[in-house]
């Protein structure tokens, strides 16, 4: 990259689907807020022309947002043409970091050809793909990705293997970059806890919390089964769901069905579940939870589990999730092949203990997940093109 002294910051391009709330987007924004923007500026290339949740903040921080057409396979020629035109017009970036690995094998080589000095980075953030044809196409598109990037980044070893292959990881060609967070932002605050619980009308409830998009990978259906078992044991249970997605209506339907089957009333369960949508100030809602439950079918390294730990929450999560997210003793794993009642039993057994919040921020930071430290290291990497702030998996 550039070692030249200049009064203008170097610019790094992040390629994403949108600027809406999401795992990758949230982690990049955490980094963006902390990095020295006098030296390094972020720009964003997204696959939509709609304003996203972070769009206004990006512009306020000095970033620029560009749009591409959404890739639909059948528009391959149009998509490739749009990318070529974009990088012919924009050769100013010292690096392009592709967080959309499904199409990175298309746009990264084009970026490199337009500006050979530009560093290209493929960043794997998920250890699985969607079901059906979409997942199959994703696997095909990224099968050659490892050969088309200067650097292969991942958020966990499992995600690295899923995207770049076990051999590539074992050969030490994949860098694991922590999904760092601002640990102080999530520090437990009893005043905030009381405010949110009063706002939601759940002051006297035991609150199960979940933060994540309503999609196949997050396994909300299994979470509802766990919650139903909890409600069979205790009347004061409430489930708070933060996020949006295509599976939301299916969750409503299942809650009604289970309500009738177990309690003879379709509102018996649904009335105990709060659908809050996306929250920009999500750190306030972690304070209101009593237990964090996360039964995903697959993940890369879920930032929400790191955030929940920073808030001092006990976390019961799927054994399909990498052990790398267990930054503290607050995390326990269970199999999603088990009957949901076993998850419920564990939560109930630890319910009283979970009400005592621990400050584990130092442990999280020591594990490399403090974004303030990572920002300094990433700034150096972007400016020199050397020594990514992670570890080489082997």
pLDDT of residue 133: 65
The rounded percent of the chain whose pLDDT value lies above 90 is: 83
Residues composing the chain: 394
Q: Do 161 and 201 fall within a single domain?
A: no
| Judgement on whether residues 199 and 342 belong to the same structural domain of the protein | yes
Residues of the chain with pLDDT under 70: 1-6, 128-129, 131-137, 393-394
Distance CA 191, CA 383 (A): 42
- 348 with 291, same domain? yes
Same domain, 135 and 267: no
**Nearest alpha-carbon partner for 12 in 27, 28, 23, 30:** 28
- Are 320 and 235 in a shared domain? yes
User: Is there a domain that residue 2 lies in?
Assistant: no
Please tell me whether residues 111 and 242 are part of one structural domain: no
The total number of structural domains that make up the chain: 2
Instruction: Return the CATH number at 76.
Output: 3.40.50.2000
pLDDT at 101: 85
Residue 394 lies in a domain: no
**pLDDT tens-digit profile of 11-22?**
999 999 999 988
- The stretches of 142-290 forming alpha helices (DSSP H) are 157-164, 166-170, 190-200, 220-233, 248-263, 267-270, 282-288
Give domain status of residue 4, yes or no: no
> For residue 105, is it within any domain?
yes
Per the CB < 8 A criterion, the answer to whether 227 and 269 are in contact is yes
C-alpha dihedral, 249 to 222 to 128 to 160, nearest 10°: 130
Q: What is the pLDDT at residue 394?
A: 57
**Considering the domain boundaries, does residue 1 fall inside one?**
no
pTM of the model: 0.87
Please state, in angstroms and rounded to a whole number, the distance separating the CA atoms of residues 382 and 11: 9
d(CA 26, CA 244): 15
User: Are 17 and 138 part of one and the same domain?
Assistant: yes
Provide the domain limits for residue 324. 183-367
3-state secondary structure of 168: helix
pLDDT value at residue 4: 46
Q: Are residues 171 and 195 in the same domain?
A: no
Same domain, 161 and 265: no
Same domain, 343 and 260: yes
Instruction: Tally Cβ neighbours within 10 Å of residue 184.
Output: 13
What is the strand order of the sheet 40-46 is part of? Answer: 65-67, 40-46, 10-16, 93-98, 119-124, 151-154, 175-176, 391-392
Instruction: List residues bridging with 93 in a β-sheet.
Output: 11
Looking at the structure, tell me whether residues 222 and 286 fall in a common domain: yes
């Amino acid at each position: 990259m550039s070692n030249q002294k200049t009064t203008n910051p170097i610019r790094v391009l992040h390629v994403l689907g949108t600027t809406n709330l999401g795992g990758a987007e949230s982690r990049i924004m955490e980094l963006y807020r902390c990095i020295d923007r006098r030296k390094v500026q972020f720009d964003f290339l997204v696959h939509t022309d709609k304003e996203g949740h972070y769009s206004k903040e990006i512009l306020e921080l000095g970033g620029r947002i560009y749009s591409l057409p959404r890739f639909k396979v059948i528009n391959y020629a149009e998509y490739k043409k749009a990318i070529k035109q974009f990088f012919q017009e924009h050769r100013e970036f010292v690096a392009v970091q592709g967080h959309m690995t499904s199409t990175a094998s298309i746009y990264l080589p084009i970026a490199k050809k337009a500006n050979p000095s530009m560093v290209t980075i493929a960043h794997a953030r998920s250890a699985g793909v969607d079901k059906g044809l979409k997942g199959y196409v994703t696997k095909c598109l990224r099968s050659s990705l490892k050969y088309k990037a200067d650097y292969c980044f991942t958020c966990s070893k499992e995600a690295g293997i899923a995207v770049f292959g076990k051999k590539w990881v074992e050969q030490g060609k994949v860098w694991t970059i922590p999904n760092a967070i601002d640990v102080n932002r999530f520090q437990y605050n009893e005043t905030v806890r009381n405010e949110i619980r009063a706002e939601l009308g759940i002051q006297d409830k035991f609150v199960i919390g979940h933060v994540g998009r309503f999609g196949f990978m997050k396994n909300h259906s299994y979470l509802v089964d766990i919650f139903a078992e909890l409600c069979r044991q205790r009347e004061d249970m409430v489930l708070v769901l933060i996020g949006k997605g295509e599976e939301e209506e299916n969750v409503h339907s299942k809650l009604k069905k289970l309500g009738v089957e177990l309690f003879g009333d379709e509102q018996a369960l649904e009335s105990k579940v709060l659908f809050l949508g996306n929250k920009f100030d999500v750190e306030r809602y972690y304070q209101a939870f009593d237990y964090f439950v996360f039964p995903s079918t697959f993940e890369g390294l879920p930032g929400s589990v790191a955030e929940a730990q920073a808030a001092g929450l006990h976390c019961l999560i799927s054994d399909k999730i990498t052990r790398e997210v267990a930054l503290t003793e607050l995390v326990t794993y269970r199999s999603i092949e088990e009957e949901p009642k076993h998850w419920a039993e564990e939560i109930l057994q630890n319910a009283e203990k979970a009400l005592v919040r621990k400050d584990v921020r130092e442990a999280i930071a020591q594990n490399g997940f403090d974004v303030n430290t990572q920002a300094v290291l990433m700034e150096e990497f972007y400016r020199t093109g050397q020594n990514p702030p992670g570890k080489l998996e082997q």
